[in-house]
Amino acid sequence: MSTTRSVGILATRSVRTIQRLPSAFFPALAMPIFNMVVFAGTFFAVTKIPNFPTDRSINWYMPLGIMMGSAFGGVGLGFTTIRDIQTGFYDRLRMAPTSRISLILGPLVGTLVRIALMTTLVIVIGIALGVRFTGGVLGVLCLYVSALGIATMGAGWGLGLAFKFKDMRGAAIMQLSIFLVMFLSSAQVPLDVMSGWLHAVARVNPATNILRLARVGLVNEANADHLSWNSVWGGVVAIVVMCALSLVFALRNLRKLSN
Amino acid sequence: MRRKPADVLRQFVALSRRSTLAIFRQPALVGPSLIFPLFFAALGSSSFSRAISLPGFPEVDSYLQFTLAGTVIQGVLFGSVTGAAALATDIEEGFFDRLLAAPTSRTSILFGRLAGSAVFGAMQALVFLLALLPFGVTVEAGVLGYVSIVVAGFVIAFAVGALMSVVALKTGSAEAVQGTFPVLFILLFLSSAFFPRETMSGAYRRVADFNPISYMVEGQRSLSLDGISLVAMSQTLVIPLTLAVLTTMLALRQLSVRLAAR
Amino acid sequence: MNSAPIIAEQLARHFGEVKAVDGINLTVNQGEIFGFLGPNGAGKSTAVRMLTTLLRPTSGTARVAGFDVVKQADEVRRNIGVALQDSAIDPLMTGFELLELQAVLYGIPSNKMKQRAEDLLERVGLTAAADRRVSTYSGGMRRRLDLALSLIHAPVVLFLDEPTTGLDPMSRLTLWEEVRRLNREGTTVMLTTQYLEEADQLADRIAIIDHGRIVREGKPSDLKRTVGDPTLLINVSRQHSDAAKAVLARFGDMRPTAEGTLGVGLKGGAERVAEVVRALDEAKIVVEHLELNQPSLDDVFAEATGHRLEGADNAPQAG
């Protein structure tokens, strides 16, 4: 009961900053939209490659924009936490007789609310620019699950690094690692279109599975990656495992803060 | 106050030296603008190996060969943000005022700063050319082609550096200069730096047709794929030079605005 | 078993080779205001962080409000209030929102929350500013809000970490008054400070920490008495400095002072000042300035640590 209330109030604090500090939220909205638009434009012809899963480039790059935005939005929680640690505000939270889990879950829930808002906005703009869902409501749901999943993963990782480093070194590691994980995947083209080293790396990168899940409702119905149990379970497993690992990482490093 | 040309030259050289060294002494700032373009080139060569046979692509052996020009321009564009951010930091930290308090020529302060960026731009171009060489990426136009691309790196960095300096001089904030980064990023992607204009359609195509970056990239690309031609040479060198003249004028004007406001 | 609200036994914290706190013993009694004094880096913040469950001790134990700070951290947290330094407030939130956050984190039931927050705001005189963002608050207002935050759950023990650093004299007096009032109502207070006057004014007992060890402990009046003789401070021109030192040494032990001033613990007190002046006069030493200071906490501090704390006063950062 008290944990639930703590989670709620900490989430409220996090969401409130959207309205209090819109200049900080704006880039988080703009980046996925720009990514979607410029990738879809510059790689317009990529869908003409034989066996490409969709014939609309924006169908392919909208989920990428959302996933990049979610991943960076997730580690963004690490940024704000570094600031809280440096100002001493985090000491205040740590001194409260509330469960350590709520110190993590509260801000996480707030972050997820922001990610859900961002995802919704990008989907609306995407549809205006030509996105067509092929997988119906279930497909849209899969996109949200992937976005929230990768944001949770990013948030756990970002929090853990924030607790570990307590300064901007942590932030640099967060950004670089997320950047690499996101791009060394099926971000730009599907696995069977790639060749060489990237194929080898992307095949074992969990982000590839999660991106496939994000796109199940957007690829052609005839494609193997279209909404089906086969195309979904890999992403779900990847999300569950990666989120669990990253949250354990965050919790462990939170406890180590008093060492 | 009249100054002897020799003095102005000496001041310019001293300030150029400082700004060039400053760039090379900050590997954390310089590194990304060398590494990221190569990373994207490597990523593209694996991702788009099957795209090069699409209609609209020129005859190339590999996507890497195609993307050489895009890599150079990308690196130089992003690298020149660093130099301008350093100018803004100078303003923030008061070094700029110290220079102004000295009987230093006003323009050499600006040109000295831009020279650092330009030297770095030329070096980036050279690094990219050499780094891709082992992967069979060559410049068909030969020595003159290599030299032209390196010179283009110098001029583009100067031109973009001057443009960024306008922001630096106007705001005096390094953060504001860094904030223009997404604009460059978008401009680059709305050009033919990564895929040919012939493969684009609709509004994207029209934007890319208007985007001067497209023509600079295509000039270098033609030098690299087809060999020497008057069109390629002028696209590679004349467009950046024209831009450099325009942006330098803007920067000088902003400099005098800043000086007048003191 | 001893039921004092704060008991530390051989409490130590090492950071690698550095012994930030090197085995301290401390007892703070029920209803006391206890002053914890020390220069920056002496270990007082580290000690307080251990007592407030933020940092784990390397060795030794501490019990606060009757609970072990490591094994019963949550119970300790429930019973202590901690006023932190002024930046530890989220500038984007309003005073009321911060109180609300604090109330939830401390498990105050929803139906009592609003009343409690309003009472506290009134108590610290922030009712009118309750719905303004903290970023618009003055330094004094922030400290008062901070105090209100630390009181949300009516703690048994209150830790105040440099509560008045950087405040103007008026705000300082207001805060002192509030601390005294809380203390009268039964709250035990542990106060860390760099201001000797603050400790002198507020504290029933003090401890001086230096290089991680407690070097003096007791009532301010008792401690001052141990230093004994008043300090005679004399300024002479530079060329007379050594000669003056030789003369002064005949009247007592030389004491550490600010650069350019000579100080001696004057045996026999005020009545011997005339004698000193005559002796200096006979030695043809021109006295530029002379004053006699009764022992202060600063003298206690200087005697205990070999250096003075005052003067470090202007540095507002925490130790």
Note the pLDDT tens digit of each residue in C12-34: 999 988 899 999 999 999 999 99
Percentage of residues in chain A with pLDDT exceeding 70? 100
Which amino acid does the sequence have at B112?
G
Architecture of domain C229-294: 2-Layer Sandwich (3.30)
* C6-224 fold: Rossmann fold (3.40.50)
Render pLDDT for C73-124 as a digit per residue (tens, 0 to 9): 999 999 999 987 666 788 889 999 999 999 999 989 989 999 999 999 998 9
Examine chains A and C and say if they touch (3+ CB pairs below 8 A).
Answer: yes
CA distances from A242 to A69, A206, A214 (A): 18, 8, 16
Tokens of C94: 């309003």
The answer to whether C114 and C120 have CB atoms below 8 angstroms apart is no
Contact C145, C83 (CB under 8 A): no
Q: Report the relative pairing of strands C157-161 and C188-193 from DSSP bridges.
A: parallel
pLDDT of residue A212: 96
Beta carbons of A183 and B200 less than 8 Å apart: no
Per the CB < 8 A criterion, the answer to whether C19 and C212 are in contact is: yes
Of B50, B199, B204, the CB nearest to A193: B50
The string of DSSP letters for B135-165 reads: GT---TTHHHHHHHHHHHHHHHHHHHHHHHH
Of the given ranges (A214-218, B65-69, C169-173), which has the lowest mean pLDDT? C169-173
- 8 A C-beta contact, residue C192 and residue C116: no
C83 beta partners: C160
Q: Does A130 touch chain B (CB under 8 A)?
A: no
Number of structural domains in chain A:
1
Please give the residue that has the higher pLDDT: either C197 or B218: B218
Total Cβ atoms within 10 A of residue B101? 9
Whole-number pLDDT of residue B15: 80
At residue B103, does pLDDT exceed 80?
no
Give the C-alpha separation, B257 to C166, whole Å.
Answer: 40
- Residues A65-82, mean pLDDT to the nearest whole number: 94
Placement of tokens 């980046």 in the chain: A31
The pLDDT score that the predictor gives to residue B123 is 93
Report the residue from A30, A42, A50 with minimal CB separation from B195.
Answer: A42
CA A211 to chain B, closest CA, distance in angstroms equals 15
Q: Are C3 and C31 in contact (CB under 8 A)?
A: no
Work out the minimum CA distance from C149 to partner chain A, whole angstroms: 10
Looking at residue A1, its pLDDT comes to: 55
Are C88 and A89 within 8 A, CB to CB? yes
Q: Is the pLDDT of residue B182 over 80?
A: yes
Burial-class residue A38 by CB neighbours within 10 Å (0-12, 13-18, 19+).
buried
Domain range for A62 is 2-256
Yes or no, beta carbons of B200 and A31 under 8 Å apart: no
More confident site: C3 or C184: C184
From chain A residues 160-189, the ones with a CB under 8 A of any chain B CB are 183-184, 188-189
pLDDT at C86: 61
The two beta strands, C157-161 and C231-236, are unpaired
Q: Are B130 and B146 in contact (CB under 8 A)?
A: no
Q: For residues C129 and C176, is the Cβ–Cβ distance under 8 A?
A: no
pLDDT at C312 over 50: no
Note the pLDDT tens digit of each residue in A46-59: 999 988 999 999 99
Mean pLDDT of A145-158: 97
pLDDT of C318 reads 35
Which of A29, A44, A52, A184 best tests the B interface by mutation, with the highest count of B CBs <10 A? Answer: A44
pLDDT at B113: 82
Q: Given this model, what pLDDT does residue B212 score? A: 93
- Which chains, if any, share at least 3 CB pairs under 8 A with chain C? A
Residue B142 corresponds to which tokens in the numbers above? 């030969």
Percent of chain B past pLDDT 70, that is, above it, reads 98
Distance from CA of A49 to the nearest CA of B (A): 6
pLDDT at C315: 37
Q: Flag the least confident range among A100-104, A203-207, B17-21, C202-206.
A: B17-21
Higher pLDDT, B177 or C160: C160
The ipTM, to two decimals, is 0.86
C-alpha atoms less than 13 angstroms from C-alpha of B32 in its C-beta half-sphere? 13
Categorize the per-residue pLDDT at C317 as very low, low, confident or very high, splitting at 50, 70 and 90: very low
Cα gap A131→A210, rounded to integer Å: 20
User: What would the two tokens of residue A141 be?
Assistant: 């749901």
Return all residues near C294 (Cβ < 8 A) that are at least 6 apart: C224, C230
Q: Please, where in chain C does CATH 3.30.70.120 lie?
A: 229-294
The predicted pLDDT at position A165 comes to 94
- State the Cα–Cα distance between residues A163 and A143, nearest whole angstrom: 30
Q: Is the pLDDT score of B189 beyond 60?
A: yes
- How much is the mean pLDDT over chain C? 87
- Reply yes or no on whether the pLDDT at A169 is more than 90: no
Give the integer Cα–Cα distance in Å for A101 and B62: 51
Mean pLDDT, chain A, integer: 93
Decide if pLDDT at B26 tops 80: no
Residue C300: pLDDT band (50, 70, 90) is confident
**pLDDT (0 to 100) of residue C22:** 92
Select the residue of B39, B56, B194 nearest A42 (Cβ to Cβ). B194
- Alpha-helical segments (H) within chain A: 2-20, 22-42, 57-87, 89-95, 100-128, 136-165, 168-183, 196-204, 206-215, 229-256
A84 CB within 8 Å of a chain C CB: yes
